[in-house]
Chains A and B, each alone.
Chain A
Amino acid sequence: MPELRMREALREALREEMLRDDRVFLMGEDIGAYGGSYTVTRGLLDEFGPERVIDTPIAESGVVGAGIGAAINGLRPMVEIMTINFSFVAFDQIINNASKFLYMSGGQFNVPLVLRMAAGGGSQLGATHSHSLEGLYAHFPGLKVVCPSNPADAKGLLKRAFRDENPVIFIEHSALYSLKGEVPDDADYVLEFGKARVLREGTDVTIVGYGGSVHQALRSAAMLEDQEQLSAEVIDLRTLRPLDIDTVIQSVKKTNRCVVVEDDWQFGGFAGEISAQVMERAFDWLDAPVARVSGKDVPMPYNRNLEFAALPSEEDVVEAVLAML
């Protein structure tokens, strides 16, 4: 199996889907001639031409809305929002139109739109450019929310997104674009939505993550084993909507402890949703309250030390696990 970086795996998915389905086209800021801010779309303009790889103005509301209009009318657009931070500008289109058109029209028209965006902090870009909004988008019925943690999943899930009849928010953690991994080169390699994956089996605690936080979960599991002789099970949710809570519940019934790790703010965040569902469905199996290891409740500071303090770390996860023993 070839080894690819995540950006290359995403590019392969886009390319294969464009070859498979001529209704697929791409729109976004600098995705054509420049190849995309994270070079995901490099080379696609040359291969597919300017009608299928469209450079747009910096006008997120207009462009996302145009994607919705094209999707309603039989095409399969992918709109790249350079980073998730700019999706606030398109929020009305995503929430009031993309997520609601099918329901609000009594099932008359659906919006098969793929919205890709880079997310996450850790790059000293300051408060307006460091958001993790996976949980925010997962809040809205009508959307599907995907957050891959590795190149193979990125490819298989993005290919799946183009085959969905509903709007899909596809969130890529910016720290993962250069991550390498083995990626199937089979054109029929497509992953299902709503299937979490157990990345590491364990017996003492279940650590749940998605996107970038999966890697903190894995590192903290290794630390727990090396330093504390504890066996942690690590679950990668892969999609937040639909959510595979069954895999989490099954694991918690085995380990009796659960920690959820996410970059997003804790207050009202997605870790709270997981915690509530675990409490509702596995209360009697829990030996300790579900712990949340999340971003601190402040706008992201610019200074390196402060930013580090604001983001969750593997040490935080280890500490949370030790506190529940």
Chain B
Amino acid sequence: MTKPGDRSLYLEMLRRMLLIRKFDEAAVELAARREIVGAVHAYIGEEAVAVGACAALNDDDYITGNHRSHGHPIAKGASVDRAMAELFGKRTGYCKGKGGSMHLADFSVGILGEAGILGSALPVAVGAALASKLRKETKVSMPFFGDGASNEGACHESMNLAAIWKLPVVFVCENNQYAIVKNVRDLVAVQHIADRAAAYDMPGVTVDGQDVLAVYEAVGAAVARARAGQGPSLVECVTYRYFDHAEGMGRLLTEPYRDADEVEKWRQRDPIAIHRAWLLDGGYATAEELDAIEKDAAAAIEAALEFARTSPEPDPSELFDGLYTNPIAADRY
């Protein structure tokens, strides 16, 4: 339950949602004018999920992301400078320019990687939880995945493994209702993705993914359960992708597949606006204070852009770095 004493947390939630929003607005713009290349999968509209869920974690808990995952590292506390530099492919990026938009990873804040392949990171998150349990630690693993990935075999194998071994995993499904251009209703047999939890004898709940506090509370209960050794849970957060599947892919994926009315209706339930209104109604902050947070977030993204643009490119001599930990000379294979 929300408590007045958590004011700084509630404000921090707003700040991180704004950072993600502005980060991805910048990324969309960069992709549109080809300043960065490759696909950009914007998280805009879904910020409350990553921020609400990560707010329920400790710094040393683990998360895994997916292809639409600029938001998760930021929600977990990663630096926007290094994340932006990675989008630019710069040496100062989290992955030294070798990962890119779909593979942002900051191990120092518990990110075990993002998977460009749907469902691919879920078994890895389960393995991290297994390591946690075998080492008698209480670290929780939280894979983020979408409605699309929820149909992958790896997802179901992961849920079953976590359930039979009672692992500290909180499966967070970001149901943004579209797998590329196909609506979830046509692709998932059950009414709610959370209903699938029953098949693995674990709790499954569906929450409003536009309400950061609802996400925080539902995920928080699942995290407490996992940390207490009671096993995994599935939290389905119903949310919406404002943008198309990916930016920067030309005309390939821009055929109409959803009504403008539908998009507009969801934009009226914007997670940042909802949280801002809640903060004002509850007297947690004044409009001026919230404006200042937004201004700071915008400035942080401007600074990140400057950092990324002025950072050095990796040198071609770095091509083989990090292929093996004990490098073998390139001419050996």
- Chain B residues positioned under 8 Å from A59 (CB to CB): 157, 160-161
Given contacts A68-B124, A69-B123, A104-B113, contact A61 B157 (CB under 8 A): yes
Q: Which of B160, B164, B328 has the most CB of A within 10 A?
A: B328
B176: min CB distance to chain A, Å: 22
Q: Which of A62, A165, A194 contacts B157 (CB 8 A)?
A: A62
Q: Give chain A interface residues in 24-73, CB to chain B under 8 Å.
A: 25, 51, 56-57, 59, 61-73
Residues of chain A with a CB closer than 8 A to B158's CB: 62, 65-66
Residues of chain B lying within 8 A (CB to CB) of residue A164: 326
Kindly state the separation between the CA atoms of A90 and B132 in the bound complex, as whole angstroms.
Answer: 23
CB proximity of B240 to chain A, nearest CB, Å: 28
* A242 and B105 alpha carbons, distance in the complex (Å): 28
Give chain B nearest CB distance to A95 CB in angstroms: 10
Is B113 a contact of A97 with CB atoms below 8 Å?
yes
- Do the beta carbons of A70 and B134 come within 8 Å of each other? yes
The answer to whether B128 and A73 have CB atoms under 8 Å apart is: yes
Minimum C-beta distance from A288 to chain B (A): 26
Over the window 112-124 of chain B, the binary record of Cβ atoms lying under 8 Å from chain A Cβ atoms (1 yes, 0 no) is: 1101110011111
Question: Do residues A65 and B122 form an inter-chain contact, with CB atoms below 8 A?
Answer: yes
Mask, A66-97, CB within 8 Å of B = 1, is 11111111110100000000000000110011
Shortest distance in angstroms between B239's beta carbon and chain A's nearest beta carbon?
Answer: 25
Report the bound CA distance from A74 to B96 in whole Å: 23
Does residue B95 face the partner (Cβ distance < 8 Å to A)? yes
Kindly identify, within residues 112 to 165 of chain B, every residue whose CB is under 8 Å from any CB belonging to chain A: 112-113, 115-117, 120-132, 134-135, 141, 153-154, 157-158, 160-161, 164
CB distance from A69 to the nearest CB of B (A): 2
**Which of A59, A141, A165, A242 counts the most chain B CB atoms within 10 A?**
A59
User: Which of chain A's residues have a CB closer than 8 A to the CB of B135?
Assistant: 74-75
Q: A56-B161, A61-B157, A74-B135 are in contact. Are A105 and B123 (CB under 8 A)?
A: no
- With an 8 A cutoff between CB atoms, is B68 at the interface? no
Q: Do A165 and B325 form a contact, CB below 8 Å, given A75-B135, A109-B107? A: yes
**Structural contact, B95 and A73, CB atoms closer than 8 A:** no
A103 touching B120 by the CB < 8 A rule?
no
In the complex, which of the residues A56, A61, A71, A74 contacts B153, with contact meaning CB atoms closer than 8 Å? A61
Whether, in the assembled complex, A268 has its beta carbon less than 8 Å from a beta carbon of chain B, the answer is: no
User: Are A25's CB and B321's CB within 8 A?
Assistant: no
Q: Which residues of A contact B123 (CB under 8 A)?
A: 61-66, 68-69, 93
Is A66 a contact partner of B161 (Cβ separation < 8 A)?
yes
Tell me which residues across on chain B come within 8 A of A92, comparing CB atoms: 117, 120, 154
Query: Once bound together, how far apart are the Cα atoms of A57 and B324, in whole Å?
Result: 31
Interface residue B98 (Cβ < 8 Å from any Cβ of A): yes
Kindly identify which residue among B95, B117, B131, B321 contacts A108, using a CB–CB cutoff of 8 Å.
B95
B332–A243 CB distance below 8 A: yes
Q: Which of A69, A103, A108, A165 contacts B125 (CB 8 A)?
A: A69
- Set A75, A93, A241: member contacting B134, Cβ < 8 A: A75
**A285 contacts B by Cβ under 8 Å:** no
A142 near B: Cβ within 8 Å?
A: yes
Interchain CB contact under 8 A, A73 and B127: yes
Q: Digit string of B203-237 for contact with A (CB within 8 Å is 1, else 0)?
A: 00000000000000000000000000000000000
A102 within 8 A of B: yes
The contact of B96 among A67, A73, A106, by CB within 8 Å, is A106
**CB-based contact A142/B324 at 8 Å:** yes
Minimal Cβ-Cβ distance residue in B for A93: B123
B157 and A105: CB pair below 8 A?
Answer: no
Q: Is B99 an interface residue (CB 8 A)?
A: yes
Tally of B interface residues using CB under 8 Å: 49
> Is the C-beta of A302 less than 8 angstroms from some C-beta in chain B?
no
Q: Is A308's CB within 8 Å of the partner chain B?
A: no
A241/B124 in contact, CB under 8 A: no
Shortest C-beta distance, A17 to chain B (Å), equals: 16
Distance, CA A66 to CA B161, complexed state (A): 9
Q: A57-B161, A62-B154 are in contact. Are A242 and B328 (CB under 8 A)?
A: yes
How far does the alpha carbon of A77 sit from the alpha carbon of B141 in the complex, in Å? 18
B62 CB–A CB distance under 8 Å: yes
Residues of the B chain whose Cβ atoms lie less than 8 Å from the Cβ of A189: none
Q: Mark B58-78, 1 if CB is under 8 A from A, else 0.
A: 000010000000000000000
Contacts of B98 in A (CB 8 A): 103-106
* A164, chain B: closest CB distance, angstroms: 8
Tell whether A62 pairs with B93 under 8 Å between CB atoms, given A106-B99, A242-B332.
no
What string of 1s and 0s marks CB contacts (under 8 Å) between A263-302 and chain B?
A: 0000000000000000000000000000000000000000
Contact A57 B160 (CB under 8 A): yes
In the complex, whether B198 has a CB less than 8 A from a CB of chain A is no
Which residues of chain B come closer than 8 Å to A166, judged between CB atoms?
324-326
Q: Check A70 against B130 for contact (C-beta < 8 Å).
A: yes
Cα separation A51 to B99 with both chains bound (whole Å): 34
User: Do the beta carbons of A62 and B161 come within 8 Å of each other?
Assistant: yes
- Decide if A2 is an interface residue (CB 8 Å cutoff): no
Query: What are 16 A-B interface contacts by the 8 Å CB criterion?
Result: A62-B123, A62-B154, A65-B157, A66-B127, A70-B127, A72-B112, A93-B120, A96-B117, A102-B322, A104-B95, A106-B93, A109-B105, A109-B107, A110-B325, A164-B326, A243-B333
- Return the 9 tightest CB-CB contacts between A and B, nearest first: A65-B123, A69-B127, A62-B157, A106-B96, A66-B127, A107-B322, A106-B95, A165-B325, A73-B131
Q: Given A57-B161, A69-B127, A165-B324, list of 17 further CB < 8 A pairs?
A: A57-B157, A61-B157, A63-B123, A65-B120, A65-B158, A69-B124, A69-B128, A72-B127, A75-B131, A92-B117, A97-B113, A102-B323, A103-B322, A105-B94, A106-B95, A106-B96, A142-B324
